[in-house]
């Protein structure tokens, strides 16, 4: 008679286990890496967006400058906002896939939440 193999049952981690992982150097490095990308990219976009709004509010003649046919600079810059948003999103996805996901997966795999 053979004994059936029993897989270890997953259990919920305790608060102290989460705090231990959060305090680990690997997790702190992951957070630093995320911040090194997110903060500059956010600052860049907010400055770019704020500049566009200020130009629209105070530089009417500049924004009305014809670029091609009935297309003016304001329209080109407005469409540039959409392009920039998609570009930043794509850059973040690429960054997350290359830098963040492997590190977070390693941390997750090192957390042994199953019963001994």
Would you state the pLDDT for residue 115? 40
Residue 79 pLDDT greater than 70, yes or no: yes
Domain chopping of the chain, boundaries = 24-107
For residue range 17-75, what is the model confidence (pLDDT) as tens digits? 888 888 999 999 999 999 999 999 999 999 999 999 999 999 999 999 999 999 999 99
Residue 72: count other Cβ atoms within 10 Å of its Cβ: 16
pLDDT computed for residue 11 by the predictor: 65
Backbone angles phi, psi at 114, to 5 degrees: -85, 155
Beta strands in the chain (DSSP E): 66-68, 71-72
- pTM over the 0.75 mark: yes
């Amino acid at each position: 008679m053979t004994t059936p193999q029993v897989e270890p049952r997953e259990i919920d981690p305790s608060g102290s286990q989460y705090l231990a992982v959060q305090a680990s150097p690997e997790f702190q490095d992951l957070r630093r890496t995320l911040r090194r990308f997110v903060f500059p990219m956010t600052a860049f976009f907010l400055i770019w967006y704020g500049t566009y709004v200020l130009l629209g509010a105070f530089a009417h003649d500049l924004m009305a400058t014809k670029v091609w046919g009935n297309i003016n600079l304001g329209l080109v810059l407005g469409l540039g906002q959409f392009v920039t948003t998609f570009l930043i999103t794509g850059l973040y996805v690429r960054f997350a896939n290359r830098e963040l996901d492997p590190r977070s997966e390693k941390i997750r795999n090192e957390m042994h939440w199953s019963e001994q």
